[in-house]
Amino acid sequence: MTSAPGPLRALTVWQPWASLIVAGAKPYEFRKWRSPRGLIGQRIVIHAAARPVDMAEVEDLRTRLVDRDRDEECRRRAAECALHAEGALPVLEAALRGELPLAAGVGTAVLGESTYALGIAWEFGLDRVNDSPRDEHMAWAWPMSDPDPWPHPVPMRGYQGCWTWPDPSLLLSDPGLVETPLDGTEAAHAA
């Protein structure tokens, strides 16, 4: 496990992708920009955004993965998601049941050096991959390795880009950082 000296940095990711990363089912996070050089090889917090889960999008991903062995076209559609089906299906089922946390840290992963998203498609046997319908966000594939899911989500406001995750002692001393109790009873719905 690689760790950064000093405070951890965090990356806010929409659900179900945040939980898919920490489950080890999503090996790449797709972004418009390269992974920050100073964070390559460092463990970062994966923070689930407050944005509500798009259930139609989750159902589409689940269907693609469930049907992957039906025929060649279904295999291709499943591979385009750039997800590992065995790990992804339980997360997607939890999303459909409304069980994924929002506005909370869900675990950590080690950030790798980004590559052009089209350059990783061969890993999935295709010319192109994208785990969402937002093609404008898939210019760079950020490798996410050595995921470490937390046993309980930590409610926290999120931010765009990479941001500094508060020191655990600050979470107790500054209630403005957290909008709900730290016992994980309910995720905050902050940015």
Q: 45 and 150 in contact (C-beta within 8 Å)? A: no
State the CATH architecture for 9-173.
Roll (2.30)
Mean pLDDT on 93-98 = 98
pTM above 0.85, yes or no: no
Mean pLDDT on 108-115 = 96
Could you report the per-residue pLDDT of 32-56, keeping only the tens digit for each? 889 999 999 999 999 999 999 999 9
Q: Rounded to whole angstroms, how far apart are CA atoms 108 and 22?
A: 7
Q: Rounded to whole angstroms, how far apart are CA atoms 43 and 158?
A: 17
Domain boundaries, the chain: 9-173
Could you report the per-residue pLDDT of 138-183, keeping only the tens digit for each? 688 999 999 999 999 999 999 998 999 997 655 545 555 554 333 3
User: Phi-psi category of 95—alpha, beta or left, where left has phi over 0 and alpha has psi -120 to 50?
Assistant: alpha
Helix (H, G, I), strand (E, B) or coil at 186: coil
pLDDT for the residue 168? 65
Q: 153 and 106 in contact (C-beta within 8 Å)? A: yes
pLDDT for the residue 126? 80
State the CB neighbour count (10 A cutoff) for residue 160. 9
Instruction: Give Cα 89 to chain centroid, integer Å.
Output: 15
